[in-house]
């Protein structure tokens, strides 16, 4: 019996005109929005074909070679003016390695340099700082762990002092269930997400260390109170803020959704602790027309990095809403999307590519490794159907098997998106290649807990 397959041929010409309804009140915000649209429209319409190499559907090709060269240069010696980014060194490595991996580049030749660079950033009390002599921080530790996972090897992974890291994470776990990003630092959803990524990937004990201050409040494990903390960060708009009673932001939405998806099945965890319809409405409003890209907050401009921070929310939300993802994947019938994959793809290829290599926020800005990483991550997500495979046999860590039950398949065949534009899939929770997640998990399973 023939199976009906939906028409997945993209309509690249959709929404390349001004919105039909526009507020006549002119403000600084609306003026900035109009200026951004005016910058994007010529590129979306492909008026100046001399700037790009186009394929058959009138979209610019992804200039893989230029972007790869840009990223390799970012991992070399930087000029003196870059000293201000010293505390972001782990991030700069992570952004470049992730983007190169998404492009299909082999990053293992960087293994020795990456391992040596990060060795001096590890503190005896546990965790990694942003640079030599700097205090440990959840964000920099997250970037270090994921970078070492990508370059692989026992030398790199083995240099992580897991026991010290476990004790340090016990110091940033809070009595209200959340995590500070560093000792005596701010508490927000980033701390929760980064901590759970490290705990689950490195096979750390789930129980709190005996000296953890949160034990005095009756907490016994790292996950105690954490889903409730994430729930309190949902705002009246429906989005997720960094901490309760602050402004909703797309990156915090991703951190909260990914954290909950580590803690258990998305359909149970996300639906139990978040108002999903309200969150879907808020995230949907972040994709703009005619640009096609995402903004990170209400009344803000599109920015290429939210191709991941907002775009990466959709597979997690789809898993929370749908109980047929694995069946659709098995039948090669990915369901309709909760966002416009075509619109986002068009914005990325037409507006975010710099002629000199690298990807950017929008046409008026310059490329950098941060935007190159997250723009490519968003494009990869748009090109793949990432789904939670509920029927997958649990070969993962006992406490976090659900985080490793995800699978991926191409959303379209490569000829439908243009020659050379198909990217490598990345894990929707860990935001590194699937093989790096699996190899790292296997390595630390063999090491056992302590």
Q: Contact at 8 Å (CB) between 423 and 103? A: yes
Kindly name the residue from 303, 318, 342, 402 that is annotated as catalytic: 303
Q: How far is CA 186 from CA 137, 178, 180, 317, in A?
A: 11, 10, 5, 27
Which candidate in 341, 361, 402, 424 is catalytic?
A: 361
Query: Does 300 qualify as catalytic in the annotation?
Result: yes
Is 384 annotated as catalytic?
no
Contact assessment for residue 63 and residue 357, using Cβ atoms and an 8 Å cutoff: yes
The two tokens of residue 196 are 């759970």
Of the chain, the end-to-end C-alpha distance in Å amounts to: 55
Q: Which of 72, 297, 327, 439 is catalytic?
A: 297
Asked about 249 being catalytic, the answer comes back as yes
Give the CA angle between residues 180, 186, 191 to the nearest 5°.
Answer: 35
Indicate which residue of 371, 384, 422, 441 is catalytic.
371
- Whether the Cβ atoms of residue 433 and residue 386 lie closer than 8 Å to each other: no
Considering the candidates 58, 300, 327, 439, report the single residue annotated as catalytic. Answer: 300
Q: Which of 63, 342, 368, 402 is catalytic?
A: 368
Let me know if 180 is a catalytic residue: no
Q: For residues 385 and 409, is the Cβ–Cβ distance under 8 A?
A: yes
Residue 310, φ and ψ in degrees, nearest 5: -95, -45
122-144 residues labelled b (16+ CB within 10 A) or e (exposed): bbeebbbbbbeebbbbbbbbbbb
Phi, psi of 160 (to 5 degrees): -75, 120
Closest by CA position to 369, among listed 153, 85, 130, 104:
85
Known catalytic membership, residue 303: yes
Active site residue 318: no
Report strand pairing: 384-388 vs 406-410: antiparallel
Sign of the CA dihedral running 133, 136, 140, 143? positive
Selecting among 67, 249, 424, 441, the annotated active-site residue is 249
Residue 70's CB is within 10 A of a number of other CB atoms, namely 21
DSSP code for 376: H
Instruction: Return all residues near 4 (Cβ < 8 A) that are at least 6 apart.
Output: none
Q: Which of 138, 194, 305, 313 is catalytic?
A: 305
| Residues β-bridged to residue 221 | 207
Buried b vs exposed e over 410-441: b needs ≥16 C-beta within 10 Å? ebbeeeebbeebbbbbbbbbbbbbbebbebbb
140 closest CA partner among 101, 102, 181, 111: 181
- Residue with the two structure tokens 């965890």: 269
User: Are the CB atoms for 243 and 235 separated by under 8 Å?
Assistant: no
- One of 306, 374, 387, 443 is an active-site residue; which one? 306
Torsion sign over Cα 96, 387, 227, 203: negative
Q: State yes or no: is 58 an active-site residue.
A: no
Q: Reply yes or no on whether 371 is catalytic.
A: yes
- Cite the active site residues: 249, 297, 300, 303, 305-306, 361, 368, 371
């Amino acid at each position: 019996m023939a199976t009906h397959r939906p028409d997945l041929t993209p309509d690249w010409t959709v929404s390349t005109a001004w919105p039909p309804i526009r507020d006549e009140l002119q403000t600084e915000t609306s003026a900035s929005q109009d200026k951004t649209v005016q910058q994007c429209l010529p590129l979306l319409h492909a008026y100046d074909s001399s700037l790009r190499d186009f394929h058959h559907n009138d979209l610019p090709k992804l200039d893989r070679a230029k972007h790869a060269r840009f990223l390799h240069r970012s991992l070399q010696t930087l000029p003196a003016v870059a000293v201000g980014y010293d505390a972001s060194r782990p991030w700069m490595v992570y952004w470049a390695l992730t983007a190169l991996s998404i492009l299909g580049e082999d990053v293992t030749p960087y293994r020795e340099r990456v391992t040596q660079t990060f060795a001096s950033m590890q503190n005896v009390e546990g965790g990694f700082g942003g640079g030599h002599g700097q205090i440990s921080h959840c964000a920099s530790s997250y970037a270090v762990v994921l970078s070492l996972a990508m370059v692989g090897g026992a030398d790199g992974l083995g240099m992580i002092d897991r026991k010290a890291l476990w004790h340090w994470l016990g110091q940033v776990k809070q009595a209200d269930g959340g995590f500070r990003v560093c000792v005596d630092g701010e508490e927000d959803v980033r701390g929760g997400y980064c901590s759970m990524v490290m705990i689950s990937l490195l096979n750390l004990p789930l129980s709190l260390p005996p000296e953890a201050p949160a034990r005095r409040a009756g907490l016994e494990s790292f996950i105690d109170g954490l889903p409730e903390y994430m729930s309190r960060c949902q705002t009246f708009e429906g989005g997720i803020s960094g901490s309760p009673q602050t402004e909703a932001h797309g990156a915090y939405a991703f951190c909260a959704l990914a954290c909950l998806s580590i803690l258990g099945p998305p359909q149970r965890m996300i639906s139990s602790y978040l108002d999903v319809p309200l969150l879907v409405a808020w995230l949907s409003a972040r994709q703009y027309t005619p640009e096609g890209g995402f903004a990170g907050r209400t009344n803000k401009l599109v920015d290429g990095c939210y191709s991941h921070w907002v775009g990466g929310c959709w597979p997690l939300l789809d898993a929370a809403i749908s109980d047929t993802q694995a069946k659709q994947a098995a039948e090669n019938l990915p369901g309709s999307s909760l966002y416009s994959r075509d619109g986002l793809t068009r914005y990325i290829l037409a507006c975010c590519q710099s002629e000199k290599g690298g990807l950017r926020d929008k046409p008026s800005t310059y490329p950098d490794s941060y935007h190159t990483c997250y723009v490519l991550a968003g494009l990869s997500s748009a090109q793949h159907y990432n789904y939670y495979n509920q029927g997958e046999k649990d070969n993962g860590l006992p406490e976090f098997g659900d985080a490793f039950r995800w699978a991926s398949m191409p959303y379209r065949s490569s000829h439908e998106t243009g020659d050379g534009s198909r990217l490598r899939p990345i894990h929707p929770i860990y935001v590194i290649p699937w093989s790096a997640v699996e190899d790292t998990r296997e390595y630390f399973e063999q090491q056992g807990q302590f």
